Each structure stands twice: as C-alpha cells, then as structure tokens.
Structure 1
Amino acid sequence: MRTVRVGTVRVGAVRVVSAALLALGLAAGPAAADSSPSPSQDTSSAPTQAGTSFRTATEIEQGQRATASGSTGDYLYWSFPADTGQRPTVRATVKLPDTHAAQTWQIDVYDGLRRRQACQYGAQTRTAAADSASVELACVLRTVRAWSEPWANDPLPGTYYVRLTVTGVPTSDLGLRVDTDMRVESKEIGGSAAVDGSLSEPLVPGIAVKSEGEKEDRAVLFGLEPEDGWASGWWSDRWVWTVVGGMLAALAGVAGYRLTRGAGRPSRVPPAA
C-alpha cells in the first residue's frame, strides 16, 4: 500500500501563499502612505491679500491658509501649483457684513492655460440668506494627469488659479467689506490615474517661452512648485503593483506545480511488513 505526502505539500503551499501576501503588504505600505494628505504649511507667512486679475493672483502653497479682505463685487484671485496624480480641493469661506441682503457667491478654478476646470463635486456656488454670518464654498477638481490630448480639457500639472466673486447681489450691497479665507489641499491618487506620457514643461505661465538659461533663473510669472519638484511623469505606484502581480503569479504557479506533483508522486516510505 502506498501513501502520499499531501500534508507536507499543503504546508509548503501555505508557506508560499503567506510569503506572497507578505510581499503584497510590504508593497501596499508605501502606496497607502502616498495617498495621505500632506502636512499643513507654516501659517506665519500666509498671504493676507488677494490679486485682482490672473496676472496679479496671489501665490499660495497647498495646505497653506490664505486670508484677504475685499469689497462685495470685487474679483479675488489666488494661484497654487498642482502636480501629476493630485486631486486638489479648493475651499473658501466668505465672512459677510452684519447687515446685508441675500447674496450668491461662486469660486471658479482655471489651469495654466486659463481653461476653466469643472468641479467633480462640492458647493461651487452658494446663496447666503439675508444677514447670515458667512458662506462656505468648495470645489473638488478632477485628478491631474501627466499628459493629455491637445483637444481635451483634462487637468495638467502646472499653475492653477482660483477666482472668488459674488454673482448675485443687490446694488445696495455693492462695496460692503467682506473677509475671505482660502485653502487648497490635495489627495494623492497614485497609479490608478497614471497615463503613458508626460508634458515637456508644466503649465506655468512664462516657462514655455524662455530659453534654457532663463529657466535656470526661474524667471517665470509664477514661481511656486510642489515641495519635491515637478513629477517626471514616468514613475507611479502602478509599477509596484505590476511587480507584485508578477510575483504573485509566479508563486501561484510554483504552489500549483507542487500540489499537482505531490498528488501523483508515490511516497518513498517503504510499506509496512
């Protein structure tokens, strides 16, 4: 009578699967860490005024709180950098005068080519009831792509502009003082939004028309960039998942081979007398 070492083979298969799961967990760790929001910037140097046009937009870093005072009816502009794989969220709070009529406020976001970018969700336009203390607005943009077709309107890495204004207000309220609070944060989406290709230069106004020597001096209209510099566009955590997927496939093949080989192989233990 022959016996089969199925138990030993199963233990080996379990070890193989455990090693694969461990590798998957180690690879998922950095990817999960990359998706966490970046820490807030130092507020000691936060801007306290806003621009009145695209060219005079006040530069702010992501995670930095910016404040400004203005008059009802003014156009207020800020700009911020957004890089590949980020999904920016723009939040604005407008503190209204003690006495006022109903007002409708709106925030619009434009990219480096001054193309208006649609909001995925969020209260981009809101109406404040008469004598309400404040109104809060939010706009969650689409994920910034490393590359896009020329005819498309996809968000691309570079400078983005925020415009805050009142769109519906009675004449009696024009010129009343308002205080604004602006903040931009991003969520790292990662390899799920990665595409093949990248821009030769980010959409920062002025950088594309300058020579190489001038670029080294950073003599551009807007000089802010992400803390780690602009992404090259070729690397993403999609490479990690591709490698892990290949490892899992190889380990699954080894485990399957050992199971099928062990099931049909006779035991070397001599039969009992």
Structure 2
Amino acid sequence: MRITRVLSATALMFGLAVAPAVADSSPSPSASEDSGAPSQAGTSFRTAAEFEQGQTATASASTGDYLYWSFPADAGQRPTVKATVKLPDTHAAETWQIDVYDGLRRRQACQYGAQTRTAPANAASVELDCVLRTVRAWSEPWADDPLPGTYYIRLTVVDVPTSDLGLPVGAEVRADSKDVGGAAAVDGSLAEPLVPGVAVKSREDEESSSASAVLSSIEPEDGWASGWWSDRWVWTAIGGALAALAGVGGYTLTRGSGRPTRVPPGA
C-alpha cells in the first residue's frame, strides 16, 4: 500500500512537470500575412525592411538589385528562411542566392536547403530556402554560433546575362522557426540581444534620455528569453523525482516487515 501511494504521488508530479513542457512545445499560430508585413525591401543592412516571423514580406525590384530584410530570432529557435522570386516572362538562365547574417553581420551557414538555385530560361519563378543552426543563448567570443537578435536576409542574382539586368522581378520572403528547447540549452546568456543600437539605447535609458538610437525595433512576441528557461529544467525535476521514487521503493522492499525474528532459546 505504501509503494502504491508513492507511485501515485510520483505519477502526479510527472504529469504536472510534463504539462508545461508540452504546452511550450506546441506550435504557436502564425501571424497573418497582412498584419503589417513590408511590401518593399531595403537596399542595405541599415535600410533592411523589418518583418516578424510567420509573415510574408514582398517587394518589387529589378534584376541585379540587392534586397534586404530583417527579422528577430531568439535562443532555442531554429529559423528557416524561404524566398520566392517571380521572374519576367522572357529571360535567360539566372542564378539567385539568399544569404542570412546575424546581428553582427556575420554570414551564417545553412544546415541544409537550396541557398543557391539556377532558374532555366523563361522559368516563371525560382524558390530558395535556408535552414540555419539553432540559435544559442550564449557562445564563446571567437565562435561563429547564431545568437539571439536581429537576422538579416539578402536576396540577389549572382549569375545573369547583361541583357537581363534591370528586368522587373517580384520577391517574397518568409521566416519561420522550430522551437528546439532544452536540447540546445547552454549555461549562459547574453547581456543584450544582438540588435543594432541596443547598447546605445540601454545607455541612453540609464541617462533618462528620450532619444532612441536603436536601428531595429522588432523583437519576439514574448520578448527576449535570453536562455533563462528551457524544458531541460522540467526533465531535471522529473529525473530527481524518479531517483527519489527508486530510493523509497528500494528501501521499502529490502527492509522487510521491520520486526526481528525471535530465535527460540537453546536453538
């Protein structure tokens, strides 16, 4: 009976601990594509058009232009960037490329995806995609790991005949993330996310200045997590509960009835 009560209590603890993790792992609804997504792109890092994850940003441009967008990515997320270029009716073979940079303007490698693709002559469109590495909450200064902050997308044609330069094209880009969670958690966090100008803003806030020098105004919907919480804490608690259960169960099974056996005199 005592073991049954211990098992019931541990099962209740397990259910309460797993519930938050399951809730956190459920995908959040995507933002509406019409809720403020930009309809034009920037021409440099400083003028990159900002959009939120889950939105589809669009732009009209000319073949040969450099198009820039930016979006926020937080610790534990694995961003996927997709781009579609709608080409003119008549054109030669063209090679398009999408590059992603972090808040320090370091080019981030794609884990997989068609980062560069050649569209055959007269093709209607070309699609590109890049799956980044998981964003870490903290990293060594010499490392090139993705860190929380602003990420930049650059879309351009890298191989095109001179006769096709200047032809009108349409572009669509979208960024979505998979929440990796505790599997990518690290012991550490950044003082500030890698958002251009955030350090200047923090200093001005301390000086009670009304001016804002932040070059990027976007951030995740729930704010920057900076790696302070992950489901690793949940599974650590579950492991501790199971270890306690094993200890109590082993003690109960091995101690017997607790009454010493009487030995008859003279035996």
TM-score of the pair, normalised by structure 1: 0.87
Worse-superposed segment, 68-77 or 211-220: 211-220
Is 2:24 the partner of 1:34? yes
3-state SS, counterpart of residue 161 of structure 1 = strand
- 1:230 aligns with one of 218, 224, 229: 224
Is 2:252 the partner of 1:258? yes
Taking a change above 3 Å as real, the CA distance of residues 240 and 44 of structure 1, as seen in their structure-2 partners, is closer
Q: Which residue of 2 aligns with 1:161?
A: 152
Determine what percentage of the aligned residue pairs are the same residue: 76
Per-residue CA deviations over 1:107-138 (Å, capped at 9, x if unaligned) read 10000110000111111111111111111111
3-state SS, counterpart of residue 236 of structure 1 = coil
Per-residue CA deviations over 1:72-116 (Å, capped at 9, x if unaligned) read 111100001111111111011111111111111111000011000
Q: Which residue of 2 aligns with 1:270?
A: none
Worse-superposed segment, 217-226 or 154-163: 217-226
**Alpha-carbon separation, structure 1, partners of 2:44 and 2:209:** 24
C-alpha contact 1:37 1:185 (8 A) present in aligned 2: no
Structure 2 residues not aligned, in runs of 5+: 262-267
3-state SS, counterpart of residue 208 of structure 1 = helix
Q: Which residue of 1 aligns with 2:55?
A: 64
Worse-superposed segment, 12-21 or 177-186: 12-21
Q: Which residue of 2 aligns with 1:88?
A: 79
**Alpha-carbon separation, structure 2, partners of 1:215 and 1:144:** 32
- 1:146 aligns with one of 127, 137, 156: 137
Q: How far apart are 1:166 and its partner, in Å?
A: 0.8
Q: How far apart are 1:32 and its partner, in Å?
A: 2.9
Per-residue CA deviations over 1:1-53 (Å, capped at 9, x if unaligned) read xxxxxxx6xxx545644543453343223223323333222324221000010
**Alpha-carbon separation, structure 2, partners of 1:249 and 1:192:** 21
Per-residue CA deviations over 1:205-229 (Å, capped at 9, x if unaligned) read 1112341426886540111011111
**Alpha-carbon separation, structure 1, partners of 2:209 and 2:194:** 14
3-state SS, counterpart of residue 39 of structure 1 = coil
3-state SS, counterpart of residue 138 of structure 2 = coil
- 1:123 aligns with one of 86, 90, 114: 114
Q: How far apart are 1:167 and its partner, in Å?
A: 0.9
Q: Which amino acid aligns with 1:260?
A: T
Q: Which residue of 2 aligns with 1:196?
A: 187
**Alpha-carbon separation, structure 2, partners of 1:77 and 1:121:** 21
- 1:101 aligns with one of 60, 72, 92: 92
C-alpha contact 2:193 2:226 (8 A) present in aligned 1: no
3-state SS, counterpart of residue 198 of structure 2 = coil
3-state SS, counterpart of residue 27 of structure 1 = helix
3-state SS, counterpart of residue 199 of structure 2 = coil
Q: Which residue of 1 aligns with 2:126?
A: 135
C-alpha contact 1:207 1:215 (8 A) present in aligned 2: no
3-state SS, counterpart of residue 205 of structure 1 = coil
Is 2:196 the partner of 1:205? yes
Taking a change above 3 Å as real, the CA distance of residues 127 and 56 of structure 1, as seen in their structure-2 partners, is same
Taking a change above 3 Å as real, the CA distance of residues 204 and 22 of structure 1, as seen in their structure-2 partners, is same
Q: Which residue of 1 aligns with 2:240?
A: 246
Worse-superposed segment, 48-57 or 185-194: 185-194
**Alpha-carbon separation, structure 1, partners of 2:186 and 2:93:** 45
TM-score of the pair, normalised by structure 2: 0.88
**Alpha-carbon separation, structure 2, partners of 1:263 and 1:68:** 79
| Aligned CA-pair RMSD | 2.2
Taking a change above 3 Å as real, the CA distance of residues 174 and 206 of structure 1, as seen in their structure-2 partners, is same
**Alpha-carbon separation, structure 2, partners of 1:185 and 1:142:** 13
